[in-house]
Amino acid sequence: MRDALAALPIAPRLLGATLFVLAALMAPHAANLHPAILGFFYLAVGWRVLALRHPRWLPGRWLLLALMAAAIALVIMSTGLYDGRLAGTALLVVMLGLKLLELRARRDIHVTVFLGYFVVLTQFLYSQSLGLAVYLFAGTLVLTAVQVGLNRVHAQPRQVLRHAVGLFVAALPLALVVFMLFPRLHSPLWGIKTQRAFTGISGEMTLGSLGELSRSTATAFRVQFDGMPPPPEQRYWRGPVLWHTDGRRWSADRASARALDTVGRDPLALGYEITLEPTGEYWLFGLDVVTVKPPGTHLNSSYTLVSEQRVNQRLTFRAASDPGFHMLALSERERALGLQLPDRVAPRVAGLVAQWQASTDPAQPLQMVARALDFFRNEPFVYTLTPGTLQGDPVEQFLFETRRGFCEHYAGSFALLMRVAGIPARVVIGYQGGERNPHADHWVVRQSDAHAWTEVWIPGLGWWRVDPTAAVAPDRIEQPIDTAASQAGDRVMFGDGDPGALLALWQNAVWLADAVDLGWHRWVVGFSAERQTSLLQWLGLGRLHGFGLAIALLIGGALAVAVVYLSARLPRPRSGDPLPMLWRRFTDKLRRAGVDVVASQGPDTLCAAAMRMFPQSADQLSAIRRIYVQLRYGRQSDQEMVRALSRRIRRLSLRPAQVDKG
Amino acid sequence: MAFADWARVEQVSAAGQAEIGARRIYILPTRYGLMFGVLLFLMLLGAVNYVNNPGHLLTFLLAGLAANAIYQTWRNLRGLRLVCHGGPPVFSGDPVPFVVELDGAARARPAIQLMFDDSAPALVDIDDGNRPQRVQLQLHGIPRGLHQPGRLVISTCYPMGLLRAWCYVACDRPLLVYPKPGARWTPRGAAGDGGNDAEWGGGSDDFAGLRGYRPGDLPSQIDWKSYARERGLNTRVFSGQAATPLWLDWVDAPGNDVELRVSALTRAVLDAESAGRHYGLKTPGSTIAPGLGPAHRHQCLRHLALYGTSDA
């Protein structure tokens, strides 16, 4: 069938809008693609923009072929074809640029619009942040408006944009239903290689490493508790457990990666949901000892929650913890590891421990713990982010000379002291604390909450948590660190002060953004197979899977479509002829001013009567009469004139005739 | 088109009006629609593979747009009112105008395409004002005679261009196409003086024939019988009134085949009319009495147009 639309010339405005929206949608790729790829694309856009005025400047077929060869070479050289995602995106981008250079017919714009939709998808492969998503969906809307404009004879920008918004709103219910019910895979169809650097705690601890991390206010994870949140002194988020030490450096035990068989279901455990920012590591964080673990994870023998896959993307999982859980087991190997000492222990350190041993009962290890904590509490130790570098034997120097340290200094030296005293000890790193978002029911744990503490093995109690930092700086456990206030070399400041009004407003906005961001992650980005299952259970469709899910998808989709079409059929205020309404407004105004308005009066009679009463306003009245008569009885109806009439009626002021005095 | 043979067709009323009914509309994806389907599939594959939920959402949103477009495109046609006005007679070889009046029924209907099999497509955006919009289609390559314009195809791809909705309307408004005028020639008797001074002076004795009504003719001379037969208003002319009528005779016409003669006589009718000569037309089997004026001209041209056709 012949298509008259295809033969119509394209309005330059439409072409310009296409180029603009594609250029805007491409911009976020600046963070992902090689500058040469993006440069190629924007050069093509610029070329095409110039060709809007000079169509002869468009490249011919041979030049296009040469450009295509150059573009493919550029893709191969810049990406090396190592990463399929990156190479594919780069290829799409350069091909879209080339397509722009041969943009002549309406068909070509259709194709570029389609490619534009695909570009949006590639953006999501690199970042799924809420801000970017809002930007991209807005761009998609404009792209759809361009597509709508392509299918009209005359395309008014406002008109097609409004229509595109209407189409989006109508498409949303179906999109959401399918989004909720479409089956999700646990793992990708084929391998994905990504390389990325993450901030967060690493699998080992050197003196100073956590202090550096504590300057970052970036979010580590967010938590939503099922019930009452635990008190601050119980908010220890357990990460890797470190056994080996050389005095300066602590590292995990490879062999302890083996899984624990049972922790089991625990009805008393506190349930919570964690949305973990990508770490690039295997371990997850839980509220100290996780007793109900999420699927796809295991607990290693040090009670660290370990995922089967690296956390390369934001991950949401549910877990439960029991604050009263005792880690009673101690294997022979663990005892040996827990007592392992560096090659050399400084005599002053050994002497200190010997001095304590003389005054405590060896059968009561807790007495030894108390002595050590007293030592930290009573000697002039300072809790600081900038402890300075330690020379020689770091533990000796810290304990007896500098006495300035961050949590890892206290945890590391305390564990060492315990081991010297013959008490098995280990260091746990993770996070401590968290801040509640006032706008939502969740807590935010930041990188600045990174913490290290120790566990000592006490017969009968098992592995027992001791936080020597709490002895030095009890506020650390109660309050988050105020990173901005903690200047280099100073004591660490804790954020319990009263912020100024402007600062409070800013913080409020930040918390609100955090709440929206978590909502976006919980319901869109992190919508996993597990969450889908729980949503279905909540809907009473918990048994659905496979074929049943497909049926539910069909029924749900049909319902969503029905909702849209039934609502489209609802009676709506008609946007018909605006003239009677305007005229009524005019006569109302006259009536209020005292003019005797009779329904049967024509505009001429009425205006003549009004002019007699208000000669001052005669010009305004006659202009209104003229426009109205033209619109009402004339041949053409003109939006501009209707607006002019509306404006004049609004501005009409009826002043009574001035009476001469004297 | 084979499909159109059994397709449902909207019939126009006696006044040429029709409203497109919901069940007369066909809809199928365009090639852009198929392309969009492939695009959605690839996007879904990408989103699933990279376990990318915003990608899922984007794909489903676009799928929702496409699903909604089915309804939108269909609705763009449903309830559209049209009046087939047809067009005035034209000469064969000229484009034949066919006027259709479209009324959006209080709904904006962008990009409505109208087309006959024999015409170029015409495209129009109908706004939501209540003013009907006239569209003139031009049919090409139509021979002389009385023709039905065929099926009017009304179609639209709005809003997304992914689907085409169309329907067939049988516009029962025959088009009259006069024969194409041939080369100029001089009929027998045309060389003489064409003046007839006694046109109005003659008595009313012998009936000589009919000519087209002109203002001022006596009502008693009007041939009401032919008016009743819908041949237009004609005045009876009596001998002595029309001095020497020019007879355009089939046998005099140059050319030895029917079409050439029809064309030649058409030319002669036009020449005589423009010269103001009374003329009559003789074709095998029928004679049109001499006369003058638009109605007479139409009668002669129509006779020639239909000569030898089944409508004659």
Do residue B130 and residue A137 have CB atoms under 8 angstroms apart?
A: no
User: Any chain A CB within 8 A of the CB of B309?
Assistant: no
DSSP string, chain B: -HHHHHS-EEEP-TTSEEE--GGG-EEEE-HHHHHHHHHHHHHHHHHHHTT-HHHHHHHHHHHHHHHHHHHHHHHHHTT-EEEEEE---EETTS-EEEEEEEE-SSS-EEEEEEE-TTB--EEEEEPSSS--EEEEEEE-SPPSEEE---EEEEEE-TTTSSEEEEEEEE----EEEEPPP------TTSSS----TTTTT--S-SEEEEEE--TT--GGGB-HHHHHTTS--EEEEETTTS-SPEEEEGGGSSSSSHHHHHHHHHHHHHHHHHHT--EEEEETTEEEEEE-SHHHHHHHHHHHHHTTSTT-
Q: Using one digit for the tens of pLDDT, what is the confidence trace for B10-46?
A: 888 777 888 888 888 999 999 999 999 999 999 999 8
Q: Do A114 and B160 touch (CB under 8 A)?
A: no
Looking at the complex, does the CB of residue B69 fall below 8 Å from at least one CB of chain A? yes
Lowest mean pLDDT among A152-156, A176-180, A198-202, A550-554: A198-202
B50 shares contact with chain A (CB less than 8 Å): yes
Taking CA atoms, what residue in B is nearest to A108? B32
Answer yes or no: are the C-beta atoms of A242 and A250 closer than 8 Å.
yes
Q: Which residues of A touch B3 (CB under 8 A)?
A: none
* Contact (CB, 8 A) for A257 and A241: no
User: Where are the domains positioned within chain A?
Assistant: 12-155, 204-335+426-453, 579-651
Q: Which stretch of A123-137, A328-342, A517-531, B182-196 has the lowest confidence by average pLDDT?
A: B182-196
CA of B92 vs chain A CAs: smallest distance (Å): 24
Residue B198 near chain A (CB below 8 Å): no
B138-168 pLDDT, tens digit each: 888 888 888 888 888 999 998 899 999 999 9
Q: What is the pLDDT of residue A46?
A: 93
* Active site residues per annotation of A: 407, 451, 467
- Closest chain A CA to residue B54: A525
Contacts with A, B 93-152, CB within 8 Å: 106, 110-111, 113, 115, 120-125, 128-131
Residue A494's SS3 state is strand
- Find the closest chain B residue to A562 by CA distance: B68
Q: What is the pLDDT of residues A415-461, one digit of tens each?
A: 999 999 989 999 999 998 888 887 777 888 888 788 889 999 988 88
Q: What is the ipTM of this complex?
A: 0.78
CA angle A206–A211–A214, rounded 5-degree value = 135
For the ranges A521-525, B57-61, B262-266, the lowest mean pLDDT is seen at A521-525
C-beta neighbour count of A534 within 10 angstroms? 13
- Cis previous bond, A230, omega within 30: no
> Which pLDDT does position B150 carry in this prediction?
82
**Average pLDDT for A248-253:** 84
User: How many angstroms away from the CA of B68 is the closest CA of chain A?
Assistant: 6
Residue B4 has pLDDT above 70, yes or no: no
Main-chain dihedrals φ then ψ at residue A286, nearest 5 degrees:
-135, 170
CA distance B296 to chain A (A): 36
Confidence of residue A187 (pLDDT cuts 50, 70, 90): low
pLDDT at A44 over 90: yes
pTM of the model: 0.67
By Cβ distance, the residue of B54, B106, B110 closest to A128 is B54
